[in-house]
Amino acid sequence: MSATLPSWATALRNGGHRSVDRAAIRAMLRLGGCLFDGDHEAIAAIDALLDGLLASGLPTGVDGRLDPTEVVNLMIAEGLDGRSAFWRDRYVTTGRRLVSDLGREHGPRRFEIAFARCFDISRHVPGTRLRLRLPMPVADAHLSNLAVTVEQGPAKIAIMPGRLEAKIVAGSAARLTIAARIGFTAHPGVPHGDAPSPCERETWLAAREGPIVVTARVRALARALGGSEPTDRVRRFRDHLIDAFVCGPVHPDRIGPGPATDWVLDQRRYDCRLGAALLIALCRASGIPARLIGGYLLWAAPTEHYWAEIWLPDQGWTPHDLLAWDLSAGGRDADWRDIYAGAVDCRMKTQVFPDIFTGAPGIAMPPALQRLPRAIDGGTETRFVTIPDGAPLYTDSFRILKG
């Protein structure tokens, strides 16, 4: 049985300063839970959900605005507790349909992607030097025949592993867009690769790397979960993260200065990046090389995502994705628990930490921001805005033209 978080209503009553209008909330929920519904049906279902969450104590800001992260987390909590059917009937069901449409059994698939990032540079003083970045695929066993064509941007743009990079000097223009057309053959993620060298093992066993921190508590948990062989230990780690935690969005600035892995252990919840980081930390604490992967899901609703690759001597680098928590309704549906245990569907991998990474977007970023996704023709658009004023930072549009 999956665990819910303690005192949900109390834990969530800290909103207001991160809130957005109901139209943005509707667009987000439409993408995640009502993607395949008609407009009238989707709006009616979403408004009924929001009315129920408000009655349960969801905090509001000025003019009834809502925090998207708090909306999703309370929706999940009420779904786990049986107070609302929206999460299970719509979010989980939509995710399963998307996964099934891009199943591993279909084999390699050719994709054509239109990817654009529009930067707001109006807050930079003219003459400021900026290094703007757009994520790009990494060619490996899961992605081949890569071709990149820059379609919009400054005259000088470097194509690098994991990113396009443009060096500019801010002028009078308020916005600048970098756009590319990307073609590649995506292969379902299955175990692959040669055994890591001694130097690579040292890298992928490091006790501290970004959100991956092998603390005393992580080591103690790894010992307590036990397991005789690496494969058995990894399965125990995954099962524990599915059964004893809740997956949902997290405001990064709320983690605090301490180790992110200990924050996850305290809060008993994670998003895709934090969950992968804790799984990797547990592996490293047990002497099992593991690394963090970043990229994009290539569903009908493509989105940025993180997962883990773990080195198992009898298999190779094996992908493991805690998105299985969502797809298995918090671990309750046995048929979906292992959907991403050792293999994943076709994806656009852009980061293999710590060596290949996109890096910061390149503009001045505030300590707290809001991510606002919505569906567009052929894909998704994600706006990143400041908190609390909602000023634009940058907007990504990701369209699947073929595949």
Predicted local confidence at residue 104, as pLDDT: 62
Residue with tokens 């910061």: 360
Same domain, 179 and 115: yes
pLDDT score of 118 = 98
Cβ atoms of 294 and 285 closer than 8 Å = no
* 169/292 same-domain check: no
Other CB atoms within a 10 A radius of the CB of residue 11 amount to 15
CA 362 to CA 135: how far, in whole Å? 12
CA distance 364 to 6: 36
Q: In terms of domains, do 151 and 202 share one?
A: no
Q: What does the pLDDT profile of the chain (403 residues) look like in tens digits? A: 334 333 333 344 444 457 889 999 999 999 999 999 999 999 999 999 999 999 999 998 888 899 999 999 999 999 999 999 999 999 999 999 999 877 666 789 999 999 999 999 999 999 999 999 999 999 999 999 999 999 999 988 999 999 999 999 999 899 999 999 999 999 988 888 888 999 999 999 999 999 999 999 999 999 999 998 999 999 999 999 999 999 999 998 889 899 999 999 999 999 999 999 999 999 999 999 999 999 999 988 999 999 999 999 989 999 999 999 999 999 999 999 999 999 999 999 999 999 999 999 999 998 888 999 999 999 999 999 998 788 899 999 999 999 8
Phi, psi (rounded to 5 degrees) for 6: -75, 145
pLDDT number for residue 8: 35
Distances, alpha carbon 333 to alpha carbons 31, 34, 91, 118, 179, in Å: 23, 21, 14, 40, 41
Token pair for 25: 């909330």
Closest CA to 78 of 246, 214, 260, 317: 246
Q: What is the pLDDT of residue 4?
A: 39
The C-alpha atoms of residue 186 and residue 166 are separated, in whole angstroms, by: 26
Please give the residue range of the domain that contains residue 79: 8-101
Is 391 domain-assigned?
yes
Produce one character per residue of 150-177: b if its CB has 16 or more CB atoms within 10 Å, e if not. Answer: eeebeeebeeeebbbbbebebeeeeebb
Same domain, 173 and 122: yes
258 exposure class (CB count in 10 Å sphere: 0-12, 13-18, 19+): exposed
Looking at 49, 69, 101, which one is the last position of a domain?
101
- Name the domain boundary from 61, 76, 101: 101
Same domain for 93 and 112: no
Domain count, the chain: 3
Do 91 and 113 fall within a single domain? no
- The verdict on 165 and 208 lying in the same domain is no
Same domain, yes or no: 216 and 312: yes
Q: What number of other Cβ atoms are within 10 A of residue 270's Cβ?
A: 27
168 lies in the same domain as 207: no
How crowded is residue 249: how many other Cβ atoms within 10 Å of its Cβ?
19
pLDDT number for residue 5: 37
Cis preceding-peptide flag for 289 (omega within 30 of 0): no
Task: Outline where 81-226 has alpha helix (H).
Answer: 86, 93-101, 198-203, 216-225
Residues 6 or more apart in contact with residue 377 via CB below 8 angstroms:
399
Q: 116 and 94 share a domain?
A: no
Give residue 17's pLDDT: 55
Alpha-carbon span 166 to 347, nearest angstrom:
25
CA distance 115 to 326: 27
Provide the H-helix boundaries in 131-244.
198-203, 216-225, 230-243
Task: Look at the block and give the residue holding tokens 């308020």.
Answer: 174
Q: Give the residue among 251, 305, 312 at the shortest CA–CA distance from 98.
A: 305
Last residue of one domain, picked from the residues 58, 74, 101: 101
The pTM for the full model equals 0.94
Nearest one of 339, 341, 377 to 95, comparing CA atoms:
339
